[in-house]
A and B are shown apart, each in its own frame.
Chain A
């Protein structure tokens, strides 16, 4: 066993940490809350130039062939700085869908501009009736000649408001909940019948509600064989959940550090409030929770690439549950220990609280992953 980062990984960690500190202080995110895109295309381009967008893509498509552990190093720092660029939506969600299911032509058409930082992507999978189950697809894709006609609705599509290209899951056969019969299609955002309504999310970021109103797409826009996309979506759910664990760890560490700092400076009753044992123990409980979430985040980062899907699900669902338990505690107590100032929009701690809550919901909440964990053979 070895939990140490390699020298290269340590270098990556310090590079991304100072990048976030310099290029993306929380004040930048505050300003972007008012922006219709909510993130910066020039920063996205810089991230591509640094090799971060292509970090975990194989060299065959122009990536660096890194591991998810490398990606987790980035995401943890992104979390600590509340960096809003659409890394998970573009790279891990839609990017993985195209990589796994797409042809060489599709890789060239959609991944090359992504890796260059010229485009961003989104994956539209969630539907109102399915909560966190990606096989609950009511959206239909009906064959018409060489084309498909897409009809349905997708909700809270991450980066759907800004993506140049949107990957959509739709049912080519079967009923909602069936694993078989789900297909993926790549839609340029200008596609006729693709209606994108930008929405705000609680954490100050943006997403989109998407309607497919008889959107006609050519057969060539389908990714992979018809009806066989469920395993890819299942893997993407795990990638997203593992990403939330890594980003959430960064959120927790930042919230803990801010809170401990506050306890060391704030005075009441003539003393620093950090001298009070009740508050010290609360801070220690936050620390304990952060360490536990770190442990399971590491587990998820490694197991998310396990070739056995059952092993992958078991570890990632466990980590997502632990993230929920720990993230909820740390972010809620961070507000509590800040007192009244923690309730103001002016103070940053509330931004971390919100982001933590969103991360807990994305890619499956605690109850979803508890049930999923308990459904694996290893339970």
Chain B
């Protein structure tokens, strides 16, 4: 056993670190320093900087703009970006639809869509959930019917379509066969958001920002060439996404950064003149969370090392999403608790509370999404119960 990175991997980490310091524009750097909220144009600016470096889609094949990095280097790159507080890129093109087009799309679809995802010229959003199809995704109702002229006509509604207000394209699961068993009648379409009949209506989240939308489809005409994979075969694509790389789903870098923030807040916040970091009860609570994060990080390392050796994902990889989201939430919760009265502040002008605390209350709120999106933790547990523990249905 060997828990250390190789000298080459460490050199790569140093290279990434130095590059981030160099490449981050001042405006983004200032926000990163206080973990501020990044606007869409700032996220896309950072996307293009990473694209120019060749690091925006590290897990893609090199011919389509990938970085040709192995699993461990991809993890290191992602971790360093998280640790630096760089804007989190929109995953919908890079992590979700891009790999699906790579795997299931036609050559024409790959040529049409992939370069623009890498370049950041087209922004994507995800049309999976519906008002009555959340965890029970396969009960979705958005209908897609052939119009006899080589098109499909979409009618219905998607919900929680994050960043649909900025998106140029949406990938949707739609029902193409109402008579089949519910998983069997679903197809996967790519839809231009500018098509007449598509309306995205932003919804305010509990974070106080409009992260996601309700997206309505009213007689939206989609050419058949925008069907990905076989007709009625969309469920296979939806499931394939779950089998894609999950080695950085735990967001260890992100939680590590929040925990560093927690310690800074604990050092700066005093009770009767004593920094909270020096008070044993607080110190123990911080230590416990750091240890839980360390346990997750080691589990994550196990998953990476296993992938690097070409093993199929082992049981350790199945827990990354659950623990990653829980720990991220606990980090923000601890930050809130340490802040005391400052935690009551809500989107006020700068200067009301310390600058590095200002984004904590909204982030504490938004962190609740982490255990819900991408298959809620309860759904993850249903899967583990059957697939790993072999418990009966």
Contact = CB atoms under 8 A, between A and B. Distances in A.
Interface of A: 1-5, 69, 260, 263-264, 272, 274-275, 277, 280-281, 283-285, 287-288, 291-296, 298-299, 301-302, 318, 321-322, 325, 367, 370-371, 373-374, 379
Contacts of A293: 295
A260 B389 contact: yes
Nearest to B301: A1
Nearest to A314: B294
A295 B298 contact: yes
A379 B287 contact: yes
B305 interface: yes
B319 A292 contact: yes
Contact of A374 (B286, B322, B378): B286
B391 A260 contact: yes
A298 B391 contact: no
23 contacts: A1-B305, A3-B3, A3-B306, A4-B305, A260-B390, A264-B390, A264-B392, A272-B392, A275-B392, A280-B381, A280-B382, A280-B389, A283-B389, A291-B299, A292-B292, A292-B295, A295-B295, A296-B295, A301-B1, A318-B294, A367-B284, A370-B288, A371-B283
Contact of B308 (A1, A318, A370): A1
Contacts of A275: 391-393
A264 B392 CA distance: 7
B291 interface: yes
Interface size class of B (residues with CB under 8 A): 35 or more
Most buried by A among B3, B72, B315, B382: B3
A325 B292 contact: yes
Contacts of B392: 264, 272, 274-275
B192 interface: no
Contacts of B72: 1
B4 A1 contact: yes
Contact of A284 (B283, B292, B295, B381): B381
A296 B3 contact: no
Contacts of B1: 2-5, 69, 298, 301-302
Top 4 nearest A-B pairs (CB, nearest first) are A295-B298, A280-B385, A374-B287, A1-B305
Nearest to B308: A1
Interface of B: 1-5, 72, 280, 283-284, 286-288, 290-292, 294-296, 298-299, 301-302, 304-306, 308-309, 315-316, 319, 322-323, 378, 381-382, 384-385, 388-393
B294 A299 contact: yes
Contacts of B385: 280-281, 283-284
Most buried by B among A5, A284, A302, A322: A284
B316 A295 contact: yes
A299 B298 contact: yes
Nearest to A303: B3
Nearest to A288: B319
A352 B349 CA distance: 56
A370 B287 contact: yes
Given A5-B1, A272-B392, 12 more contacts: A1-B5, A2-B2, A3-B3, A3-B301, A4-B1, A69-B1, A274-B392, A275-B391, A291-B299, A291-B315, A321-B288, A322-B291
Given A281-B378, A291-B315, A371 B304 contact: no
Contacts of A301: 1
A287 B315 contact: yes
A12 to B, nearest CB: 13
Contact of B291 (A2, A3, A291, A318): A318
A264 B5 CA distance: 41
A51 B340 CA distance: 58
B239 to A, nearest CB: 20
A78 to B, nearest CB: 20
A43 B284 CA distance: 42
Most buried by B among A4, A5, A291: A291
A371 B278 CA distance: 11
Contacts of B302: 3, 295, 298
B256 to A, nearest CB: 13
Contacts of A295: 295-296, 298-299, 301-302, 316
A308 B280 CA distance: 26
A69 B2 CA distance: 11
A371 B315 CA distance: 32
Contacts of A288: 319, 322-323, 384
B284 A370 contact: yes
Given A288-B319, A371-B280, A374-B283, A296 B294 contact: yes
A334 B308 CA distance: 34
Contacts of A371: 280, 283-284, 287
B3 A302 contact: yes
A280 B291 CA distance: 26
A77 B316 CA distance: 20
B297 to A, nearest CB: 8
A298 B306 CA distance: 14
A89 B323 CA distance: 35
Most buried by B among A1, A274, A285, A318: A1
Nearest to B380: A284
Contacts of A69: 1
A1 B322 contact: no
B329 to A, nearest CB: 15
A291 B319 contact: yes
